[in-house]
Amino acid sequence: MLGALALSVAAILLFGGLSLFATTLRVVAYFPGSVAGLEVGAPVTFRGVKVGTVAGMRVHVDLSDLHAVIPVFMELDVSRIAWSQAPAGRESDDLRRAVKAGLRAQLVAQSLVTGQVDVDLDFHPALPWPANERPDKIVEIPTITSDIQQLKDELAAMDLPGLAKQASRSLASFQHAADALARAAAPLSQSVLQTAADARTTLAAATTAIRAVQADAAGTLANIDLLAVSSRRQVVSSGKNLDALLAQLRQLSVTVNEAVSPRSPMRGDLEASLRDIAAGAGSLRRLTRNLERNPAGTLFGHSVR
């Protein structure tokens, strides 16, 4: 019996983590919305670090306006929380200063599959501090809406029936526009088919014309080839005559150069002839002047005064 009792105590100490001898601080948080998934014994964490457990829950209903709040009582393990630069005093006073600084409680989902939630503590200095003290002096940690509850509130604030009606009207308008487009597209499709048929006819005619042009072009190219061959032959045959003519021109050029050279006899005769012509021209000029001055004397051999 003593051995069994010792084993029981050891198991309690082992699995309970010496929580029986830990110093706890009882606090409360009021959640206005649903706490579905939160159970007694659920962990209380601060940024993921377990600092306590949920000790109990109750429902408070105000019969005047049927407003309900759910106080959630939590046991915080003060040995897991260290207060820096805090004046000597009770743990509850330190916790109240933390609440004034922005400490808030929020429901956080542990698993989306099981739906279990826990309570997470964190600082939110921007949120107002509701300065209300409970008569039993239990420290109250203000709460903020959970992310899931915010999503539910946003969905509830949305006019889903109105959105559904608007979507239905939009679908009806779209269907009406699609029907109108289909009716308008019917003659257009006929026109497109006719245009395609005309295009095929034009393409066939163009193909025939291109083939005829290709045949004519082939004949023309053949004629051009014949003309080029004939031209080359004529050039070859005329080249010999051109060579003979060029040879004669070169011989003539040599003869002319020899005739006009300074030592050429022909050049001396040519210069003498030019001098005689110049002298005859001088005599002719003097005769012309005499005829102009004294025509009778020139004709009868004496001068007339």
Confidence at residue 83, expressed as pLDDT on a 0 to 100 scale: 75
Name the nearest CA neighbour of 270 among 258, 281, 282.
258
Separation between Cα atoms, residue 93 and residue 86, nearest integer Å: 10
Confidence at residue 262, expressed as pLDDT on a 0 to 100 scale: 67
Confidence at residue 13, expressed as pLDDT on a 0 to 100 scale: 58
Confidence at residue 300, expressed as pLDDT on a 0 to 100 scale: 61
Residue with the two structure tokens 């099981």:
114
From first to last of the 305 residues of the chain, give the pLDDT tens digit: 878 777 776 666 555 544 555 678 899 998 877 888 889 999 999 988 999 999 999 888 888 888 888 899 999 998 888 877 656 557 778 888 888 888 899 988 877 777 788 999 999 887 766 655 554 578 888 988 876 655 655 666 666 677 777 788 788 887 888 888 777 777 777 777 888 888 888 888 888 888 888 888 888 888 888 888 887 777 677 777 777 778 888 887 777 777 666 666 666 777 777 788 888 888 888 878 777 777 666 556 555 44
- pTM for the structure as a whole: 0.45
Confidence at residue 304, expressed as pLDDT on a 0 to 100 scale: 46
